[in-house]
Structure 1
Amino acid sequence: MTLGRKLGAGAVVLALGGFVAFAATFTPVNERRTGTAEGPQLTGSLVGAGSSAQQAAMQGWTAGFSALQPGVSVDYDPVGSGGGREQFLAGGIVFAGSDAALDDAELAEATERCGPAGVFELPDYIAPIAVVHSLDVPDLQLAPATLAGLFSGAITRWDDPAVAADNPGVALPDLAVAPVHRSDDSGTTENFTDYLVAAAGDAWPAEASGEWPLSGGEAAQGNSGVVAAVRGGSGTVGYADLSQVGELGVASIGVGETFVAPSAETAAAVVEESELLPGRGEHDRAIELARETTTGDQYPIVLVSYHVGCLAYDDAETVELLQAFLSHVVSEEGQDAAAEVAGSAPISDALREEALAAIEAIHATS
């Protein structure tokens, strides 16, 4: 069963079932807490860190939230997904932004950090990872195995027969391939290598990892660092969140019998056909993406970025501030703001209902 069907009517029942008896007087959490109705004006600060892919969207979210709650500051450090998860698990920040779900070891650590209530992982940001390049080739096409060869070192020239076969009739430059990867522990890298493992077969010689798994190539910090390195080089190719690629060339990727360009719509289509990871808590909405799709309207190098936090915190003020901010993030207004500044795909109504149920479940232990 796909995620889209799993999160249909059943999700609405789950999110609203406890409120049916009070429907006439109850103000929805996203309105009551963010100040869009007659909710309270809050004061305080929230500190988060993590995904650099979320950076542009976070700017849109915090700007909109500040207009609703001018007394609240949200500080977010785009140190990378791995750094954000590490800081969150160590108790240094209230929430993390992560382009990858917590693994089993991190889930165990999260239980120690958060207590028996556990964690939430909310897929609040959906975006394609673009394969960017500095070539003067407007419509570059790359099959999965070709893409793997460019980053593994198996393909060293842009006029290699494998690249030419993907681009019939195109004049490819006689240039050395100069791959650029992330230097930090990165959810973007984990999603990119996870795609190569799933789609490229034997052409990709490594496991999926948040840390670049091969030697060679140029390393750069964050999405912005990769984009800058690709822009400043010759024959360069890299991977970055689509929102940050600027004027760089962007390749279309082989899917089935066609080549698909990255877009919010083609990324969202993959998510809707994906499944939830099994064995997780009620409010843990981690997704196992359908990387091996052969459907021509789906772009499989997609990043689902999560907000990760505890379902229980020590004080009520933290709970109220976090609920207010996350309610704005998942609201239609918040998702539209992210789409405008970052080119992301707004989450579905079903995902929104699931997120609001999780946000309402956050509580204080004292």
Structure 2
Amino acid sequence: MKRALIALFGVAMVLAACGGNTGATNPSTGGAKVPTPPAASLTGAGATFPQPFYAAAFFAYNKKFSQVTVNYQAVGSGAGIQQLTKKTVDFGASDVPLKSSEADAMGGSDKVVQLAGTLGTESLAYNLQGVSDGQLKLTPDTIAGIFLGKIKKWNDRALTADNSGVSLPNQDIRVVHRSDGSGTTYIFTDYLSSVSPEWSSKVGKGKSVSWPAGQGASGNAAVATTIKQTPGAIGYVELAYVLQT
């Protein structure tokens, strides 16, 4: 799968309800050893955006401290917030900080801790035969036009004008977007709202929006797979999924 020359940065937030002391003391300064944590089994749910990092981090932590296991369900930011609100998980993850209404539903901002967990890159991925990785050039206007459903063919004049020397086919553009509540969607639609007045007024930004065009898939991995399997497809995903798929 190939990626276009656009990069949007997002911060995955770790959300946890305030609780009692786990029994492990904080390490002192001056090079002291990290204390051995007590046995624990934690369950989390939320964003698919940081899943590749979490999988590696939790595996490495368990390898060092086998008495601690972390089960993380990559179900999307919206679902993660819902599960933490219902207290069915120990922590949630979202690419977007909690709204005041979401924090209130958890008992108030003093009842939930929000921490920046990791920084990631969001990119546009496409499946276009004969066009190399990174060769396709897209402007803010053409990106908005594609996702608004106004630019429907890969050889549209707006695209060929920005891609001199690249042979773009007379092929339908297949937009792929998230179908679930997603922080990745929030990051992308926030960008579109900032560069396109038409997008801002007609669609707006959010973890879920009413998409003017395209087909939906649940989670970054499913979006990446759909793009890979669909000739002429384009969609937005966290960069790690482009590199892995």
Same fold at TM > 0.5: yes
Q: How does 1:214-233 map to 2 (within 5 A)?
A: 214-233=211-230
Cα deviation for residue 167 of structure 1 reads: 1.2
Higher helix fraction (1 or 2): 1
Is the contact between residue 181 and residue 212 of structure 1 (CA under 8 Å) also seen in structure 2?
A: no
Give the conservation status (yes or no) of the 8 Å contact 1:182–1:212.
no
Q: Does 1:150 align with 2:184?
A: no
1:102 and 1:48 map into 2 onto residues whose CA distance is 16
- For the structure 1 residues 68 and 159, does the alpha-carbon distance in structure 2 shift closer, same or farther, using more than 3 Å as the test? same
Say how many residue pairs are matched.
215
TM-score (norm 1): 0.56
* Structure 2 equivalent of residue 46 of structure 1: 42
Could you say which residue in structure 2 is the equivalent of 1:237? 234
1:19 aligned residue: none
Query: Letter of the aligned partner of 1:106 in structure 2?
Result: E
Q: Which residue of 1 aligns with 2:243?
A: 246
Structure 1 residues 310-321: aligned runs within 5 Å: none
Matched, 1:58 2:65: no
Q: 1:164/1:46 Cα in 2 relative to 1: closer, same or farther (>3 Å)?
A: same
| Contact 2:149–2:212 under 8 Å retained in 1 | no
* Residue 287 (structure 1) aligns with: none
Partner of 2:189: 193
Asked whether the equivalents of residues 203 and 209 of structure 2 are also in contact (C-alpha less than 8 Å), the reply is: no
Q: TM-score if structure 2 supplies the norm length?
A: 0.82
Per-residue CA deviations over 1:114-168 (Å, capped at 9, x if unaligned) read x673322222211111100001312111111100111110100011111112212
- From 84, 89, 98, the equivalent of 1:88 is 84
Which of the numbers 188, 210, 222 marks the counterpart of 2:207?
Answer: 210
| Structure-to-structure mapping, 1:77-156, within 5 angstroms | 77-110=73-106, 112=107, 117-136=110-129, 137-138=131-132, 139-156=135-152
Q: Give the Cα–Cα distance (whole angstroms) in 1 for the partners of residues 42 and 143 of structure 2.
A: 40
What amino acid is aligned across from residue 177 of structure 1 in structure 2?
I
Moved over 2 A (4+): 115-120, 200-205
Specify the SS of the correspondent of 1:181: strand
Equivalent positions of 1:302-341 (< 5 A) are: none
Change (3 A) 1:73 1:203: closer
C-alpha deviation, 1:247, in angstroms: 7.1
Hey, which of these two has a bigger chunk of strand by percent?
2
Asked if 1 retains the 8 angstrom alpha-carbon contact of 2:121 and 2:238, the reply is yes
- Residues 176 and 223 in structure 2, CA contact (< 8 A), matched pair in contact too: yes
Structure 1 vs Structure 2 CA RMSD: 2.0
Aligned to 1:27: 28
Shift of 1:203: 5.1
Q: State the distance in 2 between where 1:126 and 1:199 align.
A: 22
Give 1:67 deviation, angstroms: 2.3
Q: Which 5+ residue runs of structure 2 have no aligned equivalent?
A: 1-26
* Secondary structure of 2:235 counterpart: strand
Deviation at 1:77, TM superposition (A): 0.4
CA contact (8 A) 1:180 1:229 kept: yes
CA contact 2:50–2:120 (8 Å) conserved in 1: no
> Structure 1's 100 and 41: CA in aligned 2 closer, same or farther, altered over 3 A?
closer
Q: Contact 2:128 / 2:232 at 8 angstroms: preserved in 1?
A: yes
Aligned partner of 2:122: which letter? I
* Identity fraction in percent: 32
CA distance in 1, matches of 2:139, 2:111: 41
Q: CA deviation at 1:209?
A: 1.4
Q: Which runs of 5+ in 1 are unaligned?
A: 1-25, 249-366
Q: Secondary structure at the match of 1:117?
A: helix
